[in-house]
Amino acid sequence: MAQELATGSITELQGLNDGSRNTQPMVAVVDGSERLLFASDRPGGAGGMDLWWGHLSGNTVRDLFPLLGAVNTPGDESAPFYEVTENKLYFSSNFLPGLGGFDLFVSEHRDDVFGPPQNWGTPFNSPANDLYAAVYAAQRSGLLTSNRVGSLAKKGETCCSDIYRITFPKPPLEYVPEEVAKPDTLLTVQERLTDLRSKLPVRLYFHNDEPDPRSWNTGTAQRYADTYDAYKGAAAGVPQSERVLHQHGRLGELRRERWKADDHARSLRGGSHRGRGER
C-alpha cells in the first residue's frame, strides 16, 4: 500500500499483486534512484522469508529481485533497513548463527552485491528475538525491538517486544606516529663535503704595512707569527694599542729603540750622553 501525504489517501502499489506475502517495506535512495526493500516469501528466493528489492516509481514497483549475496538463507530474513550514508543493510535472521531466535545482522553493499552478514553481538542481540533495527550513522544512534528479559510487559518478561534506543560509542582515536624522515647517510656526507669544499681554501688577509705605515720601505723585520697574533686580536676585539704592543714584541724593546733615537738626537746637538738605565 502507498499513502499520498498531500491528500491522505492510500493506494495499492502496483507490481506486487502476485499472491505472495510482502511485508516490512523500507524505501531508500540508492545510487540516485528510489528502491523499495521488503521481506517476501515469493518464488525465486532462498527459502522462507527473503529480502527483496525493486525500483520504485510513483505507485509502481518494477525489476523485483532478491538481494544478491549471502544475505538470504533457507530460514527467515526480515525487517530490512538500509543506511544510505554508509551503504549498509541492517536486518534480522533466524537462520544465521546467533544468540537466540532472531538476531540482528549488518551487511555492506557494494556494486549491487551484499557482503557476508556480520552478527551485531551483545548487547544488541540477546537470547530472545531482536528485530527492526533502525540505524542513524550520523547521530551514532538507532532503535531496535526486542522481547528480551527486562521488558515492561505485564504478561511476562518475554511475552512482547519493547522498543530500545541504542547508541554507538565513538571509535577510539588511532595513534598514528609521526613519520620522521631519516636522512640518507651517503647524501648527508656528500652534502657536507660539498659545503666544506665551498669554504676551502681559507683566505686570510695579513696587514703588512708595519712597522712603518705609509713608507717606501721594501723590507720589514715583522714576523708572520706577530702578524697572525695581531689578526687574531682584531677578530677578538682587542684594542689597537694592545695589538701594536703585542705585534712588536715586548714593551722594553720599544723603549730601547726610543732611547737610541734620543741619543742620536743629543749627539747632533752636542748634548751629553745618558747611559742606559740612568735617571
Q: Tell me which of 85-94, 132-141, 182-191 is least confident.
A: 182-191
| Across 224-249, average pLDDT | 59
pLDDT of residue 279: 40
At 84, the pLDDT band (50, 70, 90 cuts) reads very high
Helix axis angle, 240-247 relative to 224-236, nearest 10°? 160
**pLDDT at 34 (0 to 100):** 94
Task: Give the pLDDT confidence score for residue 121 in this predicted structure.
Answer: 92
pLDDT band at residue 192 using 50, 70 and 90 as cut-offs: confident
pLDDT class for 276, splitting at 50, 70, 90? very low
Measured CA to CA, the distance from residue 176 to residue 170 in angstroms comes to: 17
Q: Which tens digit of pLDDT belongs to each residue from 125-165?
A: 999 999 999 999 989 999 999 999 887 777 777 788 899 99
Instruction: Give CA–CA dist 100/125, Å, rounded.
Output: 8
Distances (CA, A) of 45 to 52, 182, 198, 264: 8, 59, 81, 134
Residue 171 has pLDDT above 80, yes or no: no
Distant-in-sequence, close-in-space partners of 69: CB < 8 Å, separation ≥ 6: 107, 113, 114, 115, 116
- Rounded to whole angstroms, how far apart are CA atoms 259 and 246? 20
Question: How confident is residue 170, by pLDDT bands cut at 50, 70 and 90?
Answer: confident
Query: Taking all residues of the chain, what is their mean pLDDT, rounded to a whole number?
Result: 80
State which fold the 2-167 domain adopts. Answer: Neuraminidase (2.120.10)
Res 51: pLDDT? 97
Question: Are 52 and 66 within 8 A, CB to CB?
Answer: yes
Do 55 and 35 touch, CB atoms closer than 8 A? yes
Hey, where are the domains in the chain? 2-167, 185-248
16-56 tens-digit pLDDT: 877 889 999 999 999 889 999 999 999 999 989 999 999 99
Lowest-confidence region among 42-51, 104-113, 267-276: 267-276
Distance, CA of 175 to chain centre: 9
pLDDT of residue 5: 53
Flag whether the pTM goes above 0.85.
Answer: no
Q: Is it the case that residue 188 has pLDDT exceeding 90? A: no
pLDDT band at 13 (very low <50, low <70, confident <90, very high): confident
* Closest to 160 (Cα-Cα) out of 146, 173, 143: 146
Return the C-alpha cell found at 161: 517486544
Tell me the three-class secondary structure of the chain, residue by residue.
CEECCCCCCEECCECCCCCCCEEEEEEEEECCEEEEEEEECCCCCCCCCEEEEEEEECCEEEEEEECCECCCCCCCEEEEEEECCCCEEEEEECCCCCCCCCEEEEEEEECCEECCCEECCCCCCCCCCEEEEEEEHHHCEEEEEECCCCCCCCCCCCCCCEEEEEECCCCCCCCCCCCCCCCCHHHHHHHHHHHHHHCCCCCCCCCCCCCCCCCCCCCCCCCHHHHHHHHHHHHHCCCHHHHHHHHCCCHHHHHHHHHHHHHHHHHHHCCCCCCCCCC
In percent, the amount of the chain with pLDDT more than 70 equals 70
First and final CA of the chain: distance in angstroms? 136
The pLDDT of residue 135 is 95
